[in-house]
């Protein structure tokens, strides 16, 4: 579980995070959503310590990350896996070495044990046989999967994903979402996903934090979104006519009739 | 940046591997260009010195002395290091800049790795080890280039050249050249590392910072060159 309280961060005069508090639950896909510039990436970077917040406290399973010294943070980070927006694979290393890198750095296992583990995680992300390919030789979706494999190779307790679907087609996006969700359940990880992909929100959003201008605007899960009357949230999630229709259909299924404007007029 | 570099390596074996890789990149990777420049600067020095020494009262062996001292004192350490500032400096800066922009440095940080120690320290250590070696090689090849050009163009025989080389030789000059080489090696590795590591933006900024790092390194080399000459000669 990761809890953060009253996180504030400014860059010069620009307030990016303005007192955000929330609890990210273990074994769930925790989503941070919001439009571009809402502060979700800065929040995630604050949570992993890549950016120091100006105020507030971050607590990992009861231990204050904010008060930790560098050595303790380094130890904690070995329990964190992160999937970056651009995958952040090491260009000079092939897929196998990219995934093996954390094992080389932090374990004393022999080569064959490391290789076995690499193949296990490659199988988990459906990339068997891609060991010797360079990052430049694989597609965007495969890069994401390699990055997931690298992130989970040390069996982390916490998984951070920064826009895992960016630049991917809808089908591959769904595969990546499904993979992250399954891994979260399988290893009982605290997974935090930054996204503005509405499919992800509706498919895997178990604990959603919606941010607007650096502030917490709404929290709930994907089912709550359908019935939420939060205007900003509705405008953000159901921005297109197609998505509005989808919402109305879901509401119709649950509540009964709707009028021409999409409002519920009669409940069962 | 330098202060944050000194921490215990997470895995000494991997750091050693990275150090050896950098030695290969910095040292072996620059061997060709250093060799070519050195031979030609020695050859040109011999030919031009001979062109200027027209007095029959000055012995031909003096040409060898002038080539030797010019190469050892200035050409090998300074000229070679200015070229290396371009070759190695831009490489270090753009490599780190690209890693920063593509979040590879962040990925290493998240893994719990001190990126300054892992990425910068091996580069500085490799530069401090290999650049003085390259400078020594440049001295040898520069003097040989002068010898070759002198005999090939009929300015002076190889025997006269060899005799001239041994006249009034001051071993301190070699030590001075090595002090310069170590100083310049530090500049060549740290300045571009700083510009690359702290780049912000995209590919345009990587290019800009890379160019800036080479310019700053060259100016610092020239300033250090003057300061060391004024202090130590």
Handedness of CA A20, A21, A26, A29 (dihedral sign): negative
Q: How far is A242 from chain B (nearest CA, A)?
A: 35
Strands A207-212 and A256-258: unpaired
A168 and A223 in a single domain? The answer is yes
Nearest CA in chain B to A73: B112
Q: What was the ipTM of the complex prediction?
A: 0.82
A163 and A226 in a single domain? The answer is yes
Least trusted range by pLDDT, from A73-77, B122-126, B178-182: A73-77
Question: Is B217 part of any domain?
Answer: yes
Q: How far is A113 from chain B (nearest CA, A)?
A: 17
Domain assignment of residue A268, given as a range: 238-268
Q: Would you give the end-to-end CA distance of chain A in angstroms? A: 39
Which residues of chain A are within 8 Å of residue B98 when distances are taken between CB atoms? Answer: 91
- Chunked in runs of 10, what are the mean pLDDT values of chain A (268 residues)? 94 93 94 90 92 94 91 88 90 93 91 93 88 92 91 92 85 86 91 88 90 92 84 82 74 66 58
Question: Is B2 part of any domain?
Answer: no
Question: Is B36 part of any domain?
Answer: yes
Residues of A within an 8 Å Cβ radius of B: 48-50, 73-78, 80-82, 84-86, 88-91, 101-102, 104-106, 160
Q: What is the number of structural domains in chain B?
A: 1
A145 and A169 in a single domain? The answer is no
Which residues of chain A are within 8 Å of residue B104 when distances are taken between CB atoms? Answer: 88-91
The predicted structure's pLDDT at residue A260: 60
| Residue found by looking up tokens 């069996």 in the block | A155
- Rounded CA gap, B106 and A51, in Å? 10
Interface touch A84/B103, C-beta < 8 Å: yes
Given A155, A188, A211, the domain boundary residue is A155
Cross-strand pairs, A30: A192, A207
Residues of B within an 8 Å Cβ radius of A: 10-11, 14, 98, 102-104, 106-107, 109-114
Which residues of chain B are within 8 Å of residue A77 when distances are taken between CB atoms? Answer: 109-112
Which residues of chain A are within 8 Å of residue B103 when distances are taken between CB atoms? Answer: 84-86, 88
Interface touch A105/B102, C-beta < 8 Å: no
Q: Cα dihedral angle (A257, A260, A264, A267), rounded to 10 degrees?
A: -20
Q: Which of A50, A85, A89 has the CB atom closest to B109's CB atom?
A: A50
Q: Is the pLDDT of residue B41 over 70?
A: yes
Question: Is A86 part of any domain?
Answer: no
Handedness of CA A16, A22, A23, A25 (dihedral sign): negative
DSSP conformational letter for A23: E
Q: CATH no. for residue A225?
A: 3.40.50.300
List the one residue out of A209, A190, A194, A220 whose CA is nearest residue A60: A190
C-alpha to C-alpha distances, A185 to A26, A28, A156, B66, nearest whole angstrom:
9, 7, 13, 76
Alpha helix segments (H runs only) across chain A: 40-48, 70-77, 95-106, 111-124, 140-152, 170-187, 198-204, 222-227, 231-237, 241-255
A121 and A96 in a single domain? The answer is yes
Which residues of chain A are within 8 Å of residue B111 when distances are taken between CB atoms? Answer: 77-78, 101-102, 105-106
Question: Is A219 part of any domain?
Answer: yes
Nearest CA in chain B to A46: B110
Strand order in the sheet with A207-212: A80-83, A158-162, A190-195, A29-33, A207-212, A215-220
More confident residue, B55 or B170: B170
A11 and A49 in a single domain? The answer is yes
The predicted structure's pLDDT at residue B60: 86
Mean pLDDT, range B2-22, rounded to an integer: 83
The predicted structure's pLDDT at residue A264: 57
Which residues of chain B are within 8 Å of residue A102 when distances are taken between CB atoms? Answer: 111
Given A111, A130, A155, the domain boundary residue is A155
Interface touch A86/B114, C-beta < 8 Å: no
Torsions phi, psi for A24 (to 5 deg): -95, 120
* Residue pLDDT, tens place only, B78-107: 999 999 999 999 999 999 999 999 999 999
Question: Is B29 part of any domain?
Answer: yes
A74 and A24 in a single domain? The answer is yes
Question: Is A85 part of any domain?
Answer: no
DSSP conformational letter for A56: E
- Rounded CA gap, A3 and B58, in Å? 84
Q: What is the number of structural domains in chain A?
A: 3
A67 and A169 in a single domain? The answer is yes
Nearest CA in chain A to B14: A105
Burial of A250 (0-12, 13-18, 19+ CB in 10 A): middle
More confident residue, A246 or B123: B123
DSSP conformational letter for A120: H
Question: Is A84 part of any domain?
Answer: no
Question: Is A263 part of any domain?
Answer: yes
3-state secondary structure B98-136: HHHHCCHHHHHHHCCCCHHHHHHHHHHHHHHHHHHHHHH
* A55 Cβ contact partners less than 8 Å away, ≥ 6 residues apart: A6, A7, A8, A19
A9 and A141 in a single domain? The answer is no
CB B136 within 8 A of CB B35: no
Exposure string of B189-205, with b = 16+ CB inside 10 Å and e = fewer, is: bbbbbbbbbebeeeeeb
pTM of the full predicted structure? 0.84
Nearest CA in chain B to A162: B103
Question: Is B66 part of any domain?
Answer: yes
């Amino acid at each position: 579980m990761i809890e953060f309280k009253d996180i504030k961060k400014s860059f010069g005069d620009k307030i990016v995070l303005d007192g955000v508090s929330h609890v990210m639950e273990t074994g769930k896909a925790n989503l941070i959503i919001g439009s571009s510039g809402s502060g979700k990436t800065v929040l995630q970077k604050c949570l992993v310590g890549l950016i120091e917040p100006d105020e507030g406290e971050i607590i990992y399973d009861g231990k204050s990350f904010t008060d930790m010294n560098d050595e303790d943070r380094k130890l904690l980070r070995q329990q964190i896996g992160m999937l970056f927006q651009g995958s952040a694979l090491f260009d000079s290393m092939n897929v196998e070495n990219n995934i093996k890198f954390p094992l080389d750095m932090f374990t004393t296992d022999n080569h064959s044990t490391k290789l076995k583990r690499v193949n296990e995680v490659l199988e988990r992300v459906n990339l068997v046989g891609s060991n010797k390919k360079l990052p430049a030789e694989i597609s965007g979706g495969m890069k994401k999967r390699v990055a997931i494999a690298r992130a989970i190779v040390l069996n982390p307790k916490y998984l951070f994903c920064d826009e895992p679907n960016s630049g991917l087609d809808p089908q591959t996006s769904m595969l990546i979402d499904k993979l992250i969700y399954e891994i979260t359940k399988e290893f009982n990880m605290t997974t935090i996903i930054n996204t503005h992909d509405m499919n992800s929100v509706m498919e895997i959003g178990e604990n959603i934090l919606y941010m607007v201008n650096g502030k917490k605007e709404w929290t709930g899960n994907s089912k709550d979104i359908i019935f939420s009357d939060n205007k900003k949230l509705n405008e953000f999630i159901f921005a297109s006519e197609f998505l509005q229709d989808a919402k109305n259909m879901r509401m119709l299924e649950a509540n009964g009739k709707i009028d021409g404007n999409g409002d519920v007029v009669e409940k069962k | 940046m330098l202060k944050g570099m000194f921490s215990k390596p997470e895995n000494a074996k991997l750091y050693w591997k990275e150090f050896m890789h950098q030695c290969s990149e910095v040292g072996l990777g620059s061997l060709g260009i250093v060799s070519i420049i050195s031979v030609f600067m020695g050859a040109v020095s011999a030919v031009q010195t001979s062109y200027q020494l027209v007095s029959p009262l000055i012995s031909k062996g003096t040409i060898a002395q002038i080539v030797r001292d010019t190469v050892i004192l200035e050409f090998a350490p300074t000229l070679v290091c200015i070229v290396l500032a371009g070759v190695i400096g831009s490489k270090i800066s753009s490599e780190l800049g690209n890693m920063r922009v593509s979040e590879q440095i962040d990925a290493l940080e998240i893994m719990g790795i001190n990126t300054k120690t892992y990425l910068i320290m091996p580069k500085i250590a490799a530069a401090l080890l290999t650049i003085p070696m390259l400078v020594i090689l440049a001295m040898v090849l520069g003097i040989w280039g002068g010898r070759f050009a002198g005999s090939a163009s009929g300015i002076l025989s190889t025997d006269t050249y060899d005799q001239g080389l041994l006249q009034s030789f001051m071993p301190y000059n070699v030590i001075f050249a090595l002090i310069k080489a170590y100083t310049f090696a530090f500049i060549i590795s740290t300045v571009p590392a700083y510009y690359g590591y702290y780049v912000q933006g995209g590919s345009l900024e990587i290019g800009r910072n890379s160019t800036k790092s080479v310019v700053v390194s060259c100016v610092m080399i020239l300033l250090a060159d003057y300061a060391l000459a004024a202090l130590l000669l």
